[in-house]
Structure 1
Amino acid sequence: MTTRRAILAAGATGTLALSTGCLGFVLGEPLEFEASKVLPTDAALAETGYEHHDSGWERIEETVSLGVEREIHASLWNAVYSKEVSIQGQRQEAAMFAAVSLPAMEVAGSVQNPLDDMDNREILDEVRGQLEGNYGNLRDIRHHERIVVRILDADRSVDVYTATTDLEGEEMEIRLPLTTFSHEDDLLVLVGGYPRLLSDEGVNIEVLMESVEHPLE
């Protein structure tokens, strides 16, 4: 997804500009970074009724300037789950959950988190393209509330947004819970989506967030 490409490019450039001593990189070898998988547990998926939709690695190759141009190669992990829910008596695949892991980029002991200067609203814009693959055109995005969820042995702030979309030709409001944080040298983004009127799905998204395991091979 090109938006993630922009995040990586910005973060990598900032890191390398502050770092020295990476001989292979200076001599022209590309720097390689790879995230570890992040996944909800099978037990949480069974409890909430979400099913695997898609997952895999995304390879990013960027050229940055450090006096001379050099390449950075990074592998991102992305896993998406979906669920059919009942809306006005019809079953529709209108609830989703995604777990994304981006590698933190370190050169000569210096780590630059590409999400440090972005709040959750800005990150939501970055992953918007993926969400629109589930919901279509998202508009009128606004902050609804902030909650705290226990994830990977720490309390994490989760921002919940409301947006308007079109689903099966009908205009609908959806909730978008999102949290981002660093864990074990990776940058994690957990995001869900569900129709506003189905409040139980908000609880299910929390269950999935609470269950995630990282790092995984």
Structure 2
Amino acid sequence: MSRVRRRGLALALAVLLATSGCLGAVSGGSTTFEAEPADVDEAAASQTGFEKNGTRDSVVTREVGPEGVSETVRVVNKVTTYEKALEIPLLGTARLGVFSIVSSPAVEVAGQTFNPIADYSNDQLVQLVTDRFGSLSGVERVSSTQITVLGTETRVTKYAATTTAQGQEIEVFVHVGKVRHENDFLVGVGVYPRQLDQESAILSLFRTVEHPASGA
């Protein structure tokens, strides 16, 4: 999976969460909503072999309202990515294991939440990534499991899909789950080749998500 495609899988969610048209209900002259970053417990990440590749801002600024009286709404999502080098035939060793955690502000005004992720199912989240960026194809649900993330029972759904790495198609599994924690929604996305079982590692990363991130 190319670096562009790896980033696309993570950033797709961050961008979509802020561009679904639901922010039009916000009122005021200029408003910024910024998420707290999330990451994974350092010891847990080390045990799984995934290495942190940093945290990036995904910023979307929109003008909402009629011309002449519009307001500026700025949404700052945080995207933290972990990668793992895996070896498969024909490709050799490459960073084919990816786990990203996207933190997106709830965008609450007068007690109402305007972030569309509040109503998105895991099926919708994985489909939105596919529709917008084309990073995945042939997505099919495989199974789902309930785990505890940040003290909340969270459904993580497993999908089979196909992606491209170094010009070759690779069959992958994708795990997607979301949870509300404090003022943010967190969406986790884990991807790895089907022939290299990383499910236990990905679920371990989900279970040890920290928010706000340590040192934030």
Q: TM-score, normalised by structure 1?
A: 0.83
CA contact (8 A) 1:184 1:215 kept: no
Amino acid paired to 2:209: V
Q: Write the distance in 2 (CA, Å) between the matches of 1:198 and 1:172.
A: 11
CA contact (8 A) 1:152 1:213 kept: yes
Q: Structure 1's 125 and 79: CA in aligned 2 closer, same or farther, altered over 3 A?
A: same
Q: Write the distance in 2 (CA, Å) between the matches of 1:86 and 1:3.
A: 27
Amino acid paired to 1:48: T
Residue 128 of structure 1, CA deviation: 4.3
Residue 191 of structure 1, CA deviation: 0.6
Amino acid paired to 2:30: P
Q: Structure 1's 139 and 3: CA in aligned 2 closer, same or farther, altered over 3 A?
A: same
Residue 129 of structure 1, CA deviation: 8.4
Amino acid paired to 2:180: S
Percent identity of paired positions between Structure 1 and Structure 2: 27
Residue 79 (str. 1) matches residue 80 (str. 2): yes
2:93 equivalent in structure 1: 91
List gaps (5 residues or longer) in structure 2.
Answer: 1-10
1:210 paired residue among 200, 207, 212 = 207
Matched residue of 1:80: which SS? strand
Structure exhibiting the larger radius of gyration computed from Cα positions: 1
Matched residue of 2:199: which SS? helix
Q: TM-score, normalised by structure 2?
A: 0.83
RMSD: 2.4
Tell me how many residue pairs correspond in the alignment: 201
Q: Which is further off, 76-85 or 111-120?
A: 111-120
Q: Write the distance in 1 (CA, Å) between the matches of 2:180 and 2:202.
A: 20
Q: Write the distance in 1 (CA, Å) between the matches of 2:14 and 2:119.
A: 15
1:44 equivalent in structure 2: 44
1:162 equivalent in structure 2: 160
Q: Write the distance in 2 (CA, Å) between the matches of 1:99 and 1:165.
A: 20
List gaps (5 residues or longer) in structure 1.
Answer: 17-21
Amino acid paired to 2:95: E
Amino acid paired to 2:52: H
CA contact (8 A) 1:124 1:178 kept: yes
2:112 paired residue among 72, 87, 110 = 110
Deviations 1:118-143 (A, max 9, x none): 221221233448986xxxx4211111
Alignment of 1:51-66 (within 5 A): 51-65=51-65
2:126 equivalent in structure 1: 124
